Amino acid sequence: MWSYLLRRLVQAALVVAVMATIVFFGVNVIGNPVDILINPDFDQEEMARAIKALGLDKPLHEQFFYFVKNALRGDLGISFVFGEPALKLIIQRMPATLELAFASLFLSIVLGVPLGMYAGLKPDSKFSKTMMAGSILGFSLPTFWVGIMMIMLFAVMLGWLPATGRGETTDLFGIQVSFLTWDGLTHLALPAVNLALTNISLVMRLARAGCKEAALQDYVKFARAKGMSEQRIVLKHILKNIMIPVVTVLGLEFGSLIAFSVVTETVFSWPGMGKLIIESIQVLDRPIIVAYLMMTVLMFVTINLLVDLTYSLLDPRVRLGGAGK
């Protein structure tokens, strides 16, 4: 167990290091942020000053050396655009993104699992067929289009929900959250559903397939023969067995929800990390891009690890560390 964890940690550190190096040099190939950050009235002297102020006058390998040196001390550099530490800017926007991701994960589970199971147990009902057909639209329509349509329908035409932003926030253990107020919830609704749509569909299909398969298994037949109630069979035996693929997929998808909620955050103008990263990419704010991707890698590694650990809880046959010693 411990050697397993250690190995995973070393792997993670390696991936982060390689990724940071690639991104660091990659961003430099694209262009130079100074050209778009500087006032057009600049003269050559001001251009030289700005390049120096951002530390871009030094040779690239030297910049990289300083970056590594500072990164080892936990300092990922100062944003070219905002003039504040990159890590601070990302963490400042993290609660908004996490809230959105959790809300959408929550929706995926509470809507996806029951709907999928229903469709699996009663495959011929009209409702099941409609839901399954709908789920195809759910993950084939592009997020940004659905987002804009939702804004058009619910905000502009019906006027039920606000179109943009995060709304009122309250302090919960030092973190600003919006789901505790009505205003915050109404703001959260559209982006969370938009972000969840693909995953609801995905979970539905997984749950349905798993359910159909499990319903025919011997242990279900045996349970039924024992005279167990249908409710108990479904909740205890089937549900538990179909959760393994659902947990795997949701685990991986959760990482994507956080790291790549870019589209939803842009469409709904949600003040999270996704909006920060896309705007930083547009102006080549290297410290933020590098720091953000390093964090993303770390997060994926952590989530994968957690998924593996959850496995061993859900399915006793799975042993961590490979060989079943």
Partner 1 sequence: MRRSLKFGAALGATLLLAAGAARADDVKIGIYSEPSAMDPHYHNLGPNNSFSSNIYDALIIQDENQNLTPGLAMSWEPVSDLVWEFKLRKGVKFHDGSDFNADDVMFTSERAPNVPNSPSSFGTYLKGKTFSKVDDFTIRVTTERPYPLMPVDLSTVSIISSDVGADVKTADFNAGPAMIGTGPYKFVEWLPSDRIVLVKNEDYWGEKAAFDKVTMKPIKSNPTRVAALLSGDVDMIDSVPTADIETLKKTDGVTLASGISNRVIYLHMDRFRDNSPFITGTDGKNPLKDLRVRQAISMAINRDAIVSRVMEGIAIPAGQLLPPGFFGTSDKLKPQAYNPKRAKELLAEAGYPNGFGLTIHGPNDRYINDAKIAQAIGQMLTRVGIKTQIETMPKSVYFRSASRGGPNGEPKYSFILVGWGSGTGEASSPLKSLVHTHNKELGFGASNRGRYSNPKTDKLIEDALATVDDTKRAALLAEATEIAISDLAVIPLHYQVNTWATTKGLKYLPRTDERTSLRSLKKQ
Q: Closer to partner 1 at the Cβ: 171 or 218?
A: 171
| CA–CA distance, 206 with 305 (Å, rounded to integer) | 22
Looking at 46, 57, 62, 230, which residue binds partner 1 (CB under 8 A)? 46
Q: Closer to partner 1 at the Cβ: 42 or 311?
A: 42
The answer to whether the CB of 177 falls within 8 A of the CB of 97 is no
| CA–CA distance, 78 with 201 (Å, rounded to integer) | 41
Residue 33 binds partner 1, judged by CB under 8 A: yes
| CA–CA distance, 191 with 98 (Å, rounded to integer) | 13
Q: Which of residues 275-304 bind partner 1 (CB under 8 A)?
A: 275-276, 279, 281-284
Residue 35 binds partner 1, judged by CB under 8 A: yes
Question: Residue 78: what are its φ and ψ, rounded to 5°?
Answer: -105, 130
Least distance from partner 1 to the Cβ atom of residue 273, Å: 10
Looking at 112, 116, 162, 210, which residue binds partner 1 (CB under 8 A)? 162
Region of 134-142, 246-254, 268-276, 316-324 interacting with partner 1 (CB under 8 A): 268-276
Residue 171 binds partner 1, judged by CB under 8 A: no
Per the listing, tokens 């349905």 go with 208
Residue 203 binds partner 1, judged by CB under 8 A: no
Least distance from partner 1 to the Cβ atom of residue 284, Å: 5
Region of 86-94, 97-105, 131-139, 293-301 interacting with partner 1 (CB under 8 A): 86-94
Least distance from partner 1 to the Cβ atom of residue 154, Å: 9
Region of 74-82, 97-105, 113-121, 210-218 interacting with partner 1 (CB under 8 A): 74-82
How buried is 282 (Cβ within 10 angstroms: 0-12 exposed, 13-18 middle, 19+ buried)? Answer: exposed
Give which of 97, 150, 130 is closest to 261, Cα–Cα. Answer: 97
Least distance from partner 1 to the Cβ atom of residue 96, Å: 8
Region of 83-91, 129-137, 201-209, 301-309 interacting with partner 1 (CB under 8 A): 83-91
Give which of 113, 46, 282 is closest to 121, Cα–Cα. Answer: 113
The answer to whether the CB of 241 falls within 8 A of the CB of 314 is no
Least distance from partner 1 to the Cβ atom of residue 47, Å: 7
Q: Which of residues 106-135 bind partner 1 (CB under 8 A)?
A: none
| CA–CA distance, 118 with 207 (Å, rounded to integer) | 9
Q: Which residues pair with 170 in a beta bridge?
A: 177
User: How many DSSP H helices and E strands does the chain contain?
Assistant: 14, 2
**Alpha-carbon Rg of the chain, whole angstroms?**
24
Residue 78 binds partner 1, judged by CB under 8 A: yes
Residue 268 binds partner 1, judged by CB under 8 A: yes
The answer to whether the CB of 37 falls within 8 A of the CB of 81 is yes
| CA–CA distance, 107 with 200 (Å, rounded to integer) | 7
The residues of the shown chain that bind partner 1, judged by CB under 8 A, are 30-47, 49-50, 53-54, 78, 80-84, 89, 92-93, 96, 148, 151-152, 155-156, 159, 162-166, 266-269, 271-272, 275-276, 279, 281-284
